[in-house]
Amino acid sequence: MTTSIALFTRDLRVHDNPVLHAASTADRCVPLFVVDDAIVSSSFFNSNRASFLVDSLTDLDAALRERGGRLVVRRGQVAEEVARIVRDHDVTEIHVAADVSRYARRREEALRGLGADLHVHDMSVNAVPPLSLTPSGGGDHFAVFTPYFRKWETVHRRGVLRAPQRLTTPRISGDVPDLRHGTPSPELAEGGETTGRELMAAWARTGVADYADVHDALADDATSRLSPHLHFGTVSVTELLDRVGTASEGARAYTRQLAWRDFHHQVLAARPESATKDYRTRGDRWRRSDRDFAAWRDGRTGYPLVDAGMRQLAREGWMHNRARLVTASFLCKTLYLDWRRGARHFVDLLVDCDLANNQMNWQWVAGTGTDTRPNRVHNPVAQAKRYDADGAYVKRYLPELAEVDPAHVHEPWTLPEDEVKALDYPPPIVDLREAADRFAAARHQR
Ligand code: FAD
């Protein structure tokens, strides 16, 4: 008799799951999730992510029960909990998804030598395995996106896997615990594969076709909002790519965005220290200003687009990509504060927070990462006029500007003095021209 463990990590789904698919061919299968104390006690486990995780584990348990099994949840140190189940239930095989962070790779090492065969499955978290592509000119990873994408597109992807129809799980303890804590964002999205699949189906049917034209239109909210599902694996990236196809311009643009996700993962896999250290140092001597940082964090900089983005983050635990670019650029280039400080605040709130995507996007914006134009600055007023022309996005998140005429909403300081005074809205904390000069000088651009 064979007994397997399907160790779920961030692949919390029954459909198109290589780990569960392989583990379910054993006579008995223990679908296992270990709540790792090291993660739960870290700031990565913010209240938004805790809430999304509980939704996802509960939904996964229900899906497994429909198939005759159940989800076993244990708390502690992953390898110790796996070892205990291997011993107690004569487990012959352990299945787990490949992943890129240092933590994930240490976990994989710890799972070896537990007395059962370890199978590590690629193409569960990523569409293309992180270090499977290398530049023809040499090097262990791609440092520039476009050539990476050209290769990525040519990779033959595996087919979509069906959810197992039946599972036999031995009698074993471990119910889904309530790990919620703190106060999640009031408009946080719901987690779980059921919700994720509905979102994916609707997106493939009606959303993706226009993506190329509208993904930057802030007020339209016309992106997939699948990032937390991709992060927790309640939606499979392989199935998503399969569903959206390549027939429309929108689908092709969307596929390119999904490749960015793999791109950042391969950078972090090759350079794990980039989670905290500059990937390419620019000799920055960042300013330290608690006052400026607090204004940015609280959405009180006096630049409406920046403030709207930061308030969206607080309200939803998620922020539109264009707003992420503008708010991050404002922190590290306009205020010239350390990107790590901004990234940390995103870690504290984002429901989709992913070590590779968050840190490497922050580095990209800061110009210490893979951007080939490291000193470009996103001007918050120009960006607002371009991507939120009538101010609808800004007004949604800044009720204090709701009545301001669209001609002034992105520059409220241009209103007549008495009207400016009547607004409960701060004046700009920094002059954009002076800030641009300061940044240029710091980067020796003058
Ligand atoms: P869509 O526009 O629908 O894109 C589809 C998917 O493509 C996304 O869900 C995501 O998985 C992927 N994707 C899109 N853009 C990027 C990108 N630039 N880098 C990597 N993957 C991308 N994304 C995260 O998933 N987690 C993070 O922690 C994160 N932090 C970020 C921090 C900063 C400073 C910036 C500028 C971007 C960050 N992003 C992060 C990337 C991007 O903003 C989000 O993936 C996107 O806004 C999620 O919304 P969506 O699912 O509607 O995206």
The closest residue, in CA terms, to atom 9 on ligand 1 is: 227
What distance in Å separates the CA atoms of residue 416 and residue 238, rounded to the nearest whole number? 54
SS3 state at 84: helix
Residue 302 burial by CB count (10 A; 0-12/13-18/19+): exposed, middle or buried? middle
The single-letter DSSP state of residue 128 is S
In this model, does residue 59 exceed pLDDT 60?
Answer: yes
Atom of ligand 1 nearest to the CA of 227: 9
What distance in Å separates the CA atoms of residue 387 and residue 389, rounded to the nearest whole number? 6
The dihedral of CA 242, 245, 246, 251: what is its sign? negative
Distance, CA of 305 to chain centre: 21
What are the φ and ψ backbone dihedral angles of 411, each rounded to 5 degrees? -140, 65
SS3 state at 83: helix
The closest residue, in CA terms, to atom 8 on ligand 1 is: 227
Question: What does the pLDDT read at residue 445?
Answer: 67
Please check whether residue 218 is in contact with residue 323, taking contact to mean a CB–CB distance below 8 angstroms. yes
In this model, does residue 446 exceed pLDDT 90?
Answer: no
In this model, does residue 389 exceed pLDDT 90?
Answer: yes
In this model, does residue 105 exceed pLDDT 90?
Answer: no
Question: What does the pLDDT read at residue 444?
Answer: 84
pLDDT in tens, 346-376: 999 999 999 999 999 999 999 999 999 999 9
The closest residue, in CA terms, to atom 15 on ligand 1 is: 257
In this model, does residue 178 exceed pLDDT 80?
Answer: yes
Mean pLDDT of 148-168: 96
Place of tokens 């497994």: 64
The closest residue, in CA terms, to atom 3 on ligand 1 is: 224
Atom of ligand 1 nearest to the CA of 327: 34
**Ligand 1 pocket, Cβ-based, cut-off 6 angstroms:** 215, 223-227, 230-231, 257-258, 260-261, 264, 321, 324-325, 328, 346, 350, 352-354, 357-358, 361-362, 365
The closest residue, in CA terms, to atom 17 on ligand 1 is: 260
Å from CA of 227 to ligand 1 middle: 6
Domain positions in the chain are 3-124, 126-157+193-270, 290-444
If phi > 0 it is left, if psi is from -120 to 50 it is alpha, else beta; for residue 88 that is alpha
What distance in Å separates the CA atoms of residue 221 and residue 377, rounded to the nearest whole number? 24
* CATH class (in words) of the domain with range 290-444: mainly alpha
Global pTM value: 0.97
The closest residue, in CA terms, to atom 21 on ligand 1 is: 261
Å from CA of 354 to ligand 1 middle: 9
* CATH class (in words) of the domain with range 126-157+193-270: mainly alpha
Give me 434's structure tokens. 């002076």
pLDDT in tens, 411-442: 999 999 999 999 999 999 999 999 999 999 99
Q: Name the residue of 126, 221, 321 whose CB sits within 8 Å of the most ligand 1 atoms, as the mutation to test its pocket.
A: 321
Helices assigned H by DSSP within 139-178: 145-154
CA atoms within 13 A on the CB side of 347: 19
Q: Name the residue of 146, 221, 230, 257 whose CB sits within 8 Å of the most ligand 1 atoms, as the mutation to test its pocket.
A: 257
Å from CA of 311 to ligand 1 middle: 18
Question: What does the pLDDT read at residue 373?
Answer: 94
Å from CA of 146 to ligand 1 middle: 17
Across the chain, mean pLDDT equals: 96
Q: What percent of the chain has pLDDT over 90?
A: 94
Atom of ligand 1 nearest to the CA of 264: 20
Please check whether residue 158 is in contact with residue 123, taking contact to mean a CB–CB distance below 8 angstroms. yes
Give the sheet arrangement for strand 93-97, strand by strand: 72-76, 28-36, 3-8, 93-97, 117-121
Å from CA of 321 to ligand 1 middle: 6
pLDDT in tens, 93-104: 999 999 877 888
Superfamily of structural domain 3-124: HUPs (3.40.50.620)
CA atoms within 13 A on the CB side of 386: 11
In this model, does residue 177 exceed pLDDT 60?
Answer: yes
pLDDT in tens, 277-313: 999 999 999 999 999 999 999 999 999 999 999 999 9
Å from CA of 406 to ligand 1 middle: 28
pLDDT in tens, 308-329: 999 999 999 999 999 999 999 9
The closest residue, in CA terms, to atom 42 on ligand 1 is: 321
